[in-house]
Structure 1
Amino acid sequence: MAGQTQAPNKSAYDVIIVGGAIMGASTAWFLSDNADFDGSVLVVDRDLTLEACSTAHTNSCMRQQFSIGLNVQISQFAADFVKNIRSYMGGDERIPQLSIRSFGYMYLAETDAFADVLRQNQKVQRAHGAGTELLTADEIKARYPFYNVDDIVLGSINTVDEGYWDGGTVNEWWRRQSRERGVEYIENEVVAITRSAAGNRVESITLKSGEVVACGQMVNCAGPRAAALAQMAGIDLPVEPRKRYSWIFKAEQPLDVDLPLTIDPSGVHVRENGGGTYQCGGHSDHDPAVDYDDYAMDFSLWEQHIWPVLATRIPQFEAVKLQSEWAGHYAMNTFDHNAIMGPHTELSNFIFLNGFSGHGLQQSPAMGRGTAEWLTYGTYRTLDMTPFSYARIPANTPLVEKAVI
């Protein structure tokens, strides 16, 4: 915990959101922005500085190169929201105008099998209006001469609304404006969940500081800790923290064009960061669930795996100097790598917003909007998020997202 626990102002709320990072903040803001919602909202987070959450450790990029059409549409709304944030947030002139630094994502395939996956994904993406292009190795080399493509069969890239965006600013303004509209944020921790006598609803939560708080509806926005929160209600949730490592380095010979967020066949990814610096990421071959508080670096990973891959793919990265490094957590949905969203099948007022498997930041505008619609109307009114419902888990009908980095 960052500081002392804070007690809530009331003993009951219409909606309690557990987790105050970008998913919780988005849901709270969209509720506060909906004229048809007039209820009370409490947001509870263990650390309102968000220093250790997934939101703080993200690449802060968005893409439309997914294998499922709904995920393409979700990112398209995110792009529109970011580019028109002031308009979406009521014309508030305090809010800065934002943009997307669209250097694109470059997927590289070294096998015919993965090239076929890229071709299949492109059909889905183009059908939903994405500008994804497929490039041969020669075409990649002509456009981006710095790549070594000797082993590459095919590449996939989209430079329209794919790249860096300022997720931290969006998150801060969602929190700030929703607070001004009456949403209450407290730094505390949920330690217990009580069901109703019939067992079909969440009746209350118990906070670490001892208060018991009743709720009309509860939203699980606990990120990598989502399964622990669900277990308090007797629910099994296939979401676990997986460690992901990031490095920022400076190149002795910077590239003369922006570097797309490049996904090497090895799984190592690297992107433009600005000023001759670059951000890259990856993980070890052994990728188990980790402790919620485990952010220790694996210092051998850079020397033995990450840097050799970078220097092979982009020879100008042979001479680089590390500037910073950190570890964060994916909230990995081990069932199918897609969001788990909406109400539980039996505990009807326990609402999921979990399991984003590394693409949560870019999905937060659409996911917060959709969850706020469900909380207000009991249905989705813009994008139909029903395919992400929890019901697919007990039914064992996965909706697999193949494009997970």
Structure 2
Amino acid sequence: MKTVGLATKPKHNTYDVVIVGGAMFGASTAWFLSDNADFNGSVLVVERDPSYRTASTSHTNSCMRQQFSNALNVKISQFAAEFVKTFRQRMGGDERYPELSIQNYGYMYLADSEGFADVLRNSHAVQVAEGAGTKLMTPEEIERDYPFYNLDDIVLGSHNRRDEGYWDCVAVFDGWRRSARERGVEYIANEVIAMTKRPAGNRIDSITLTSGETISCGQIVNASGPRAVLTSRMAGIEIPVEPRKRYTYVFSAEQPLDRELPLTIDPSGVHLRQDGRYTYMAGGHSDPDPAVDYDDFVMDHDLWQDHIWPAIATRIPQFEAIKVISEWAGHYAYNTFDHNAIMGPHTQVENFIFLNGFSGHGLQQSPAMGRGTAEFLTYGAYRTLDLSPFHFDRIAENRPFVEKAVI
């Protein structure tokens, strides 16, 4: 991930749009604003850590899928796949930006009960209705295509090898930031520490930076990742988003598989996939799965030995002898309400715009959600996908918009 030196102080004292957080969603929104001929306002992106060392963007497994239980989430990922495959074209054909593709090993959901199998069947119907290439597989069909699995407890699988797998999110992230800055979007290395509302309480008039400047703003976007609630509280708003720790391991095998390993979601909660020609990536979380401190990235080494590795070796006996090459912990911006994004305006503070709580599927949703947020900021409405089901009003009204396929 390329980082560049940023100024610490803004050039102006007023901006049409201030984006709090410059990682994937802040970058996406800024780029789509800069790419919209109907938007002619000024944009300031405030990033507290321009190294992005602890950002969720830096710790992602960078995967894409259409296997969601919610039709809108399927459409969102379909746009992401289209965006990635046409990335250079969307960047004006500029050869500084690479031609990208998706490594289509697909996701393989494995169900070990009829109840979970019914969830896969219901989700499959949703996905197929939206044109996804998902297919349900019996254990015999899975064994035919992927004979390395132990399937003794499996009753059904769900797999899709079209626009589903790994993609280079770093190239897209770097491209968005570079292009947006060249078009006039201003990035600064600073932190928002306070917001001032109008006496009526219905709008944010200004923000205060840690360096002391007060900046007037027309609209403000909360793109603060796992720290989203810290930003919203400056506006007097609570949202159900908290940091949840997720562990990732890259390993080699004494006996590599003879074919690509799909991103396998094991009933144990462990997931693993191909990572290189002879390397693999696995991930999981502790149980229970509590909220953690915003600066807690300490590895739990017992988790690998007691849970992750046993699940891997049970599902793929050929992985009995494996060696961890690298490992890290990152944070999900976890929406405890319904595991879906929170977008759009607050119900009372009308110019406070959410872009939060993606619960682990944010990277693949960033193109559509950034585009939608830019449309809302420009037109006050969506022009492509209608993303209003993600709006904050559902939180205020206790109306969950549930996504079941959360890893």
**Fold match (TM-score > 0.5):** yes
Per the TM alignment, residue 49 of structure 1 is displaced from its structure 2 partner at its CA by 1.4
In the alignment, is residue 36 of structure 1 matched against residue 38 of structure 2?
yes
Per the TM alignment, residue 198 of structure 1 is displaced from its structure 2 partner at its CA by 1.6
Per the TM alignment, residue 89 of structure 1 is displaced from its structure 2 partner at its CA by 1.5
> In the alignment, which residue of structure 2 is the partner of 1:318?
320
Q: 1:352 and 1:153 mapped to 2: Cα distance?
A: 40
Q: 1:233 aligns with which of 218, 232, 235?
A: 235
Once the two structures are aligned, what percentage of the paired residues are identical? Answer: 69
In the alignment, is residue 82 of structure 1 matched against residue 84 of structure 2?
yes
SS of 2:215's equivalent in the other structure is strand
> In the alignment, which residue of structure 2 is the partner of 1:222?
224
Per the TM alignment, residue 4 of structure 1 is displaced from its structure 2 partner at its CA by 9.3
The answer on whether the counterparts of 1:5 and 1:209 sit within 8 Å (CA) in structure 2 is no
Per the TM alignment, residue 105 of structure 1 is displaced from its structure 2 partner at its CA by 0.1
Q: 1:23 aligns with which of 8, 25, 41?
A: 25
* Equivalent residue runs for 1:197-216 within 5 Å: 197-216=199-218
AA at the equivalent of 2:294: Y
Q: 1:113 and 1:94 mapped to 2: Cα distance?
A: 49
* Equivalent residue runs for 1:311-350 within 5 Å: 311-350=313-352
Per the TM alignment, residue 175 of structure 1 is displaced from its structure 2 partner at its CA by 0.1
The answer on whether the counterparts of 2:7 and 2:187 sit within 8 Å (CA) in structure 1 is no
Q: 2:360 aligns with which of 358, 361, 369?
A: 358
> In the alignment, which residue of structure 2 is the partner of 1:172?
174
AA at the equivalent of 2:8: Q
Per the TM alignment, residue 27 of structure 1 is displaced from its structure 2 partner at its CA by 0.2
Per the TM alignment, residue 90 of structure 1 is displaced from its structure 2 partner at its CA by 1.4
> In the alignment, which residue of structure 2 is the partner of 1:378?
380
In the alignment, is residue 400 of structure 1 matched against residue 395 of structure 2?
no
Q: 1:397 and 1:199 mapped to 2: Cα distance?
A: 24
The answer on whether the counterparts of 1:337 and 1:404 sit within 8 Å (CA) in structure 2 is yes
The answer on whether the counterparts of 2:47 and 2:190 sit within 8 Å (CA) in structure 1 is yes
Q: 1:325 and 1:96 mapped to 2: Cα distance?
A: 28
Moved over 4 A (4+): 2-5
Could you state the TM-score of these two structures normalised by the residue count of structure 2?
0.98
> In the alignment, which residue of structure 2 is the partner of 1:259?
261
- The number of aligned residues is 404
SS of 2:207's equivalent in the other structure is strand
Q: 1:305 and 1:199 mapped to 2: Cα distance?
A: 49
Moved more, 175-184 or 90-99: 90-99
In the alignment, is residue 100 of structure 1 matched against residue 102 of structure 2?
yes
AA at the equivalent of 1:399: F
> In the alignment, which residue of structure 2 is the partner of 1:242?
244
> In the alignment, which residue of structure 2 is the partner of 1:59?
61
SS of 1:321's equivalent in the other structure is strand
Could you state the TM-score of these two structures normalised by the residue count of structure 1?
0.99
Q: 1:11 and 1:5 mapped to 2: Cα distance?
A: 15
Q: 1:359 and 1:31 mapped to 2: Cα distance?
A: 22
SS of 1:92's equivalent in the other structure is coil
Q: Deviations over 1:298-339 (max 9, x none)?
A: 011101110000000001110111100000000000000001
AA at the equivalent of 1:256: D
AA at the equivalent of 2:327: E
AA at the equivalent of 1:26: S
AA at the equivalent of 1:387: P
Runs of 5+ consecutive residues of structure 1 not aligned to the other structure: none
Runs of 5+ consecutive residues of structure 2 not aligned to the other structure: none
Q: 1:290 and 1:192 mapped to 2: Cα distance?
A: 23
Q: 1:383 and 1:162 mapped to 2: Cα distance?
A: 20
How large is the RMSD of aligned CA atoms in angstroms? 1.1
SS of 1:247's equivalent in the other structure is strand
The answer on whether the counterparts of 1:137 and 1:155 sit within 8 Å (CA) in structure 2 is yes
Per the TM alignment, residue 3 of structure 1 is displaced from its structure 2 partner at its CA by 9.0
* Equivalent residue runs for 1:139-218 within 5 Å: 139-218=141-220
Per the TM alignment, residue 275 of structure 1 is displaced from its structure 2 partner at its CA by 2.4
The answer on whether the counterparts of 1:221 and 1:353 sit within 8 Å (CA) in structure 2 is yes
